[in-house]
Chain A
Amino acid sequence: MPPSPLARLAGAGALVALALGIGVPWWALLSEATDPQGWRVLLEPRVWERLGWTLWQATASTLLALALGLPAALAFGLARVPGARWWRAAFTVPFVMPSVVAGLAVLAWFGPRGLSGLDLRDSLAIVLIAHAVYNVGVVVRVVGGALEALAPRLHEAAAVLGSPPWRRTLRVTLPLAAPAALSAATLVFLFCFTSFGVILVLAPSPAFATLEVEIYRAVARRADVTEAAALATLQLLVVMAATVLYTRAQQRLAARLPRAATPAPPARTPLGRLAVLAALSLAAAVTLLPPAALLLQALWPAGSSAPDLSAFVRLARPSEVIGLTDLRTALVNSLWVAAAATGIALTFGAAAAYGIARAGMRWLDALTLLPLATSAVTLGLGVLLAYPSLAAAPLALPLAHALLASPFVVRSLVPAWRALEAGQAQAAASLGASPWRTLRRVELPQLAPALLTATGFAAAVSLGEFGAALILRRPETATLPVALFERLGRPGVARFEEALAIAALLLVLTGLVVLLGEVLARRRRGSGGGVEF
Chain B
Amino acid sequence: MRHPEANASDAPPALQVDSLTRRYGALTVLHDVGMAVAAGTVTAVLGPSGSGKSTLLRLVAGLEPRDAGRVRVAGRDVTALPAHRRGVGLVFQDHALFPHLDVRANVAFGLVEAGWSQSQIVARVDALLDDLGLAALGERRVDALSGGERQRVALARALAPRPHVLLLDEPLASLDRALRERLADDLAERLRQADLASVLVTHDLDEAGTVADDLVLLDGGVVKQRGSVAAIVDAPADAWVARFLGHPNVFEGAERTRLPRPGSGPLWLRDELITLVAADAVAGPSGPDAEITRLRHQRGGMRLDLWVAAWGVRVVWRGAVRDLPVQAGPGDRVRLAVPERAWRDLPAALRPTAHAPEVAA
Contact = CB atoms under 8 A, between A and B. Distances in A.
B355 interface: no
B114 A256 contact: no
A163 B94 contact: no
Interface in A242-288: 255-258, 260-262, 265, 268
A160 B61 contact: yes
B311 interface: no
A432 interface: no
A270 to B, nearest CB: 12
Contacts of A150: 99
Given A159-B83, A159-B84, A162-B114, A255 B94 contact: no
B157 interface: yes
Contact of B100 (A153, A176, A262): A176
Nearest to B160: A161
Interface string B155-176: 0011001000000000000000
A158 interface: yes
Contacts of B94: 153, 260-262
B143 A157 contact: no
Contacts of A486: none
A39 B311 CA distance: 103
Contacts of A171: 109, 112
A167 B96 contact: no
B121 to A, nearest CB: 13
A265 B29 CA distance: 15
Given A162-B84, A255-B143, A265-B64, A157 B92 contact: yes
A161 B110 contact: yes
Contact of B82 (A153, A158, A159): A159
Given A256-B143, A258-B143, A268-B65, A160 B83 contact: yes
Nearest to B99: A256
Interface in B42-93: 61-65, 82-90, 92-93
A162 B110 contact: yes
A77 to B, nearest CB: 13
Contacts of B88: 160
Contact of A160 (B89, B112, B143): B89
B113 interface: yes
A162 B78 CA distance: 13
Contacts of B87: 162
A171 B97 CA distance: 13
Interface in B78-132: 82-90, 92-94, 96-100, 109-110, 112-114
A170 to B, nearest CB: 11
- How would you classify the secondary structure of chain A's contact residues: helix, strand, loop or mixed? helix
A260 B88 CA distance: 22
A172 B93 CA distance: 19
A122 interface: no
Contacts of A261: 93-94
B83 A156 contact: yes
A322 to B, nearest CB: 62
Nearest to A160: B90
A307 interface: no
B99 A156 contact: no
Contacts of A154: 96, 98-99
Nearest to B173: A261
B110 to A, nearest CB: 3
A178 B90 CA distance: 26
A492 B257 CA distance: 97
Q: Which of B62, B65, B83, B113 has the most CB of A within 10 A?
A: B83
A268 B63 CA distance: 9
Contacts of B158: 160-161
B55 to A, nearest CB: 11
A176 B92 CA distance: 19
B64 A157 contact: no
Given A255-B143, A256-B143, A265-B63, A161 B113 contact: yes
A261 B54 CA distance: 13
Interface in B167-223: none
Contacts of B82: 159, 164
A157 B85 contact: no
A159 B161 contact: no
Contacts of B85: 162, 164
Contact of A159 (B63, B65, B143): B63
Contacts of A167: 113
Given A153-B92, A255-B143, A256-B143, A160 B98 contact: no
A163 B92 contact: no
A175 interface: yes
B86 to A, nearest CB: 8
Given A160-B84, A164-B84, A172 B63 contact: no
Contacts of A153: 92, 94, 96
A265 B55 CA distance: 12
Contacts of B92: 153, 156-157
A171 B101 CA distance: 10
Contacts of B96: 153-154, 156-157, 260
A157 B157 CA distance: 10
Contacts of A176: 99-100
Contact of A256 (B63, B100, B113): B100
Interface in A228-249: none
Given A160-B86, A172-B98, A256-B143, 5 more contacts: A154-B99, A158-B84, A159-B84, A160-B158, A168-B84
Interface of A: 150, 153-154, 156-165, 167-168, 171-172, 175-176, 178, 255-258, 260-262, 265, 268
16 contacts: A153-B92, A153-B94, A156-B96, A157-B92, A158-B84, A160-B62, A161-B84, A161-B110, A161-B161, A162-B87, A163-B110, A164-B85, A165-B84, A257-B99, A260-B94, A265-B63
